[in-house]
Amino acid sequence: MTENGERVMPTPAADRRTTMRAIVRDRYGSPDVLRLEEIGRPEAGDDEVLVRVRAAAVNSADGKLMRGEPSLVRAMGYGLFRPKHRILGRDFAGRVEAVGRNVKRFRPGDEVFGETAGTFAEYVSVREGALGPKPENLTFEQAAAVPLAGSTALQGLRDRGGVRPGQRVLVNGASGGVGTFAVQIAKALGAEVTGVCSARNADRVRALGADRVVDYAAEDFTRSGRRYDLVLDVVGSRSLRDLRSVLDPGGTLVLCSGEGGRRIGPMGRVVGALALSPFVGHGLRPLAAKTTAESLAALKELAESGKVVPAVDRTYPLSEVPEAMRYLEEEHARAKVVITV
């Protein structure tokens, strides 16, 4: 107690262990290359925060990095013949264990969420700017699902798409990790939303707030005659021509993903969109989303207001990350797959 009679909460005792459990790999390949191992625990640098991870989300990008595809990724600093970064994972939520001397916004014991490399582990060291206070109404599992997918949807719709109230928005891939956030964020921004997904996911997408749901197996949305102010493409399997065909004059196409060969992946699609955009009446805008303190703060506000509720498909313990990766790749997971630590 202080002199004024106020109760002082004790600072959580630091974990003195110098090692941690993590999922590691030493070569590219299938989920079989992943294994649970005891390795050295990271420390917080001067501008970093050491977080004890409680949950981490699995993203499709983790599967690509696991396999080292496309080959262009290997040449971009990830390791040509073997991975330079042994631990996969990017999204996380947890509690602050320690802070660097230059860190001002956080203290030990704070509940946080954010994005950094190597989150399939018990601890991770994070730049202060890539971290935010966890939404108070979300579990650690829900919060871990938010950073990368939520920031991608938010920046695609708000920043690149410039969505305004009353506009018509189509989300192609509405039941996936990014898509489930995009439907809810578009509604929060005042848009009329159409979600494209499979029949088995239609009810989920409606429950998230979509005004109309299209089963892509039963109906080709590019031939329906409907037009949209914005198309957010999360799937990447339709051509630029097809996607442009459903845009109103002056409409915008935001590309969040893209298929491609094993060498350059979606880069050809990105270059094609940038080259074509000046010559057509539509804005063709590839998206390279980045999780920031601002995007995390905006997502926290949306979550705490009830406008965005993370959709979690399945959870797996840390030791079962290989099984989680197989499920994501083979079963076309609905919404987010989360690892509990």
Per-residue pLDDT, averaged over 107-122, amounts to 97
Residue 304 phi, psi dihedral angles, 5° rounding: -70, -20
Give percent above pLDDT 70 in the chain: 84
Q: Give the pLDDT confidence of 34-66 residue by residue, as tens digits.
A: 999 999 999 999 999 999 999 999 998 898 889
Which has the closest alpha carbon to 46: 96, 99, 100, 97?
Answer: 100
* Location of structure tokens 């929060």: 188
Least confident of 23-37, 170-184, 205-219, 325-339: 325-339
Judge if pTM exceeds 0.95.
Answer: no
**pLDDT recorded at residue 73:** 62
Predicted pLDDT of residue 64: 85
The two tokens of residue 331 are: 């079963």
Identify whether 305 is part of a domain.
no
Whether residues 333 and 275 share a domain: the answer is no
- Please write the tens of the pLDDT for every residue from 90-101: 999 999 999 999
The three state secondary structure string of 275-296 is HHHHHCCCEEEECCCCCCHHHH
Residue 156, domain CATH: 3.40.50.720
| DSSP-based three-state secondary structure for 98 | strand
Q: What is the CATH number of the domain that holds 84?
A: 3.90.180.10
Identify the bridge partners of residue 247 per DSSP, sorted by sequence position. 228
Distance CA 313, CA 200 (A): 13
Claim to verify: residue 122 and residue 217 sit in the same structural domain: no
**How many domains would you assign to the chain?**
2
